[in-house]
């Protein structure tokens, strides 16, 4: 989920990507490692060198840090400490192009893909 402070932000009424995919990353991003910042208690090891956000490594994923109702009002409770996959995941058109994974996650929850109206804004089609 991208930065909720950007406005208007479609992610605050979505959250689909936080409840669709396994969110995995190098374990050194956790605060168990020097310089790490992701709260370790919200993660689980999935291999010797990788961790995942709890709740995302299961058939029906939902990140344990996601608050609210997908498709209504949501918030990432650890937004400043979210791992790199979340930081690097753009909402469709946030970076000027569609993101197939964003579109797919939204469709999974019956939400229309985002479409651009004009630079810097989003809307639903």
Which chain residues interact with ligand SF4 by CB under 6 A?
Answer: 1-2, 10-11, 14-18, 23, 53, 63, 65-66, 76, 78, 82, 86, 89, 91, 102, 105-106, 114
DSSP code at position 79: G
To the nearest whole angstrom, how small is the minimum distance from the Cβ of residue 78 to ligand SF4?
6
Name the residue nearer to ligand SF4 (CB basis): 23 or 36. Answer: 23
CA distances from 106 to 47, 83, 89, 91, 125 (A): 29, 21, 14, 10, 12
Question: Taking the complex as a whole, how short is the minimal distance between the CB of residue 16 and ligand SF4, in angstroms?
Answer: 4
Beta carbon of residue 102, minimum distance to ligand SF4 (angstroms, whole number): 3
Q: Which is nearer to ligand SF4, 4 or 119 (CB)?
A: 4
Helix, strand, coil abundance in the chain, percent, nearest 5: 25, 20, 55
Nearer to ligand SF4, 17 or 36 (CB): 17
Of the candidates 81, 115, 79, the residue with the CA atom closest to the CA atom of residue 97: 115
**What are the backbone angles phi and psi of residue 34, rounded to the nearest 5°?**
-60, 125
Shortest separation between residue 106's beta carbon and ligand SF4, angstroms: 5
């Amino acid at each position: 989920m991208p930065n909720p402070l950007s406005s208007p932000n479609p992610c605050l009424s979505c959250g689909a990507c936080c409840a669709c995919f396994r969110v995995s990353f190098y374990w050194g991003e956790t605060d168990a490692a020097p310089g790490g910042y992701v709260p370790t208690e919200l993660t689980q090891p999935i291999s010797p060198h990788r961790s995942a956000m709890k709740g995302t490594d299961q058939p029906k994923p939902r990140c344990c840090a996601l608050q609210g109702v997908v498709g209504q009002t949501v918030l990432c409770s650890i937004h400043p400490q979210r791992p790199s996959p979340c930081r690097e995941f753009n909402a469709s058109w946030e970076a000027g192009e569609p993101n197939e994974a964003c579109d797919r996650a939204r469709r999974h929850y019956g939400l229309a893909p985002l479409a651009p109206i004009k630079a810097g804004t989003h809307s639903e089609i």
